[in-house]
C-alpha cells in the first residue's frame, strides 16, 4: 500500500522511489495526475542526476491541447516495494505520476487539505 496526502492546492501527492543507474533508491514526491495517461514526468536535473537511459522522442498531446515532441527515458521505480520499469517524460515542472502507473490499483482520497491518499494493488 502506498500512502500520500492532499496538499494545500488540493492535489494528491505520493512519494515514489526511483532506482538510479547504480540501483540506489531515491524517493521523489509526485502529484497524481488523472489527466495524464503516461507513467511519470521528471525535470531535467533529476533525470541527469539519476542517470536515466534516453529512449527517444515521442509526440504527446499536452494539457494545452497542442502536440509536443518530448524526450523519453526509461527508469525503474519501486512500486509497492517491487521494481517496475516505467517511461519517464522530461518535463521541467513538478513531477507527475500518471494513470499508466496506477494500472491495476485502487486509488482512494479524502479530498481536503491534509486528507489521505491511498494506492492499493488490486491485481
CA nearest neighbour of 81 among 36, 17, 5:
17
Would 36 be classed as within a structural domain? Answer: yes
Would 119 be classed as within a structural domain? Answer: no
The pLDDT value recorded for residue 100 is 95
Would 57 be classed as within a structural domain? Answer: yes
Structural domain range at position 99: 15-103
Q: Supply the CATH number for residue 99's domain.
A: 2.40.70.10
The pLDDT value recorded for residue 21 is 87
Would 50 be classed as within a structural domain? Answer: yes
**pLDDT string in tens for the chain (123-residue length):** 999 999 999 999 999 999 998 999 999 999 999 999 999 999 999 999 999 999 999 998 888 889 989 999 999 999 999 999 999 999 999 999 999 999 999 999 999 999 999 999 997
How many CB atoms sit inside 10 A of residue 26's CB?
12
Would 9 be classed as within a structural domain? Answer: no
The pLDDT value recorded for residue 64 is 84
Would 7 be classed as within a structural domain? Answer: no
Global pTM exceeds 0.95:
no
Would 45 be classed as within a structural domain? Answer: yes
Would 1 be classed as within a structural domain? Answer: no
Q: State how many domains the chain has.
A: 1
Question: Is 33:97 a contact under the CB 8 Å cutoff?
Answer: yes
Amino acid at each position: 500500500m502506498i500512502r500520500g496526502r492532499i496538499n494545500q492546492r488540493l492535489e494528491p501527492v505520493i512519494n515514489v522511489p526511483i532506482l538510479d543507474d547504480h540501483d540506489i533508491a531515491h524517493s521523489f514526491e509526485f502529484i497524481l495526475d488523472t489527466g495524464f495517461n503516461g507513467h511519470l514526468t521528471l525535470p531535467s536535473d533529476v533525470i541527469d542526476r539519476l542517470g536515466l537511459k534516453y529512449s527517444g522522442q515521442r509526440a504527446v498531446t499536452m494539457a494545452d491541447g497542442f502536440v509536443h515532441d518530448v524526450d523519453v527515458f526509461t527508469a525503474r521505480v519501486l512500486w509497492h516495494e517491487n521494481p517496475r520499469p516505467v517511461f519517464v517524460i522530461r518535463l521541467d515542472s513538478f513531477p507527475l505520476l500518471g494513470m499508466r502507473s496506477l494500472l491495476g490499483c485502487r486509488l482512494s482520497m479524502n479530498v481536503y487539505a491534509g486528507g489521505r491518499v491511498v494506492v492499493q494493488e488490486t491485481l
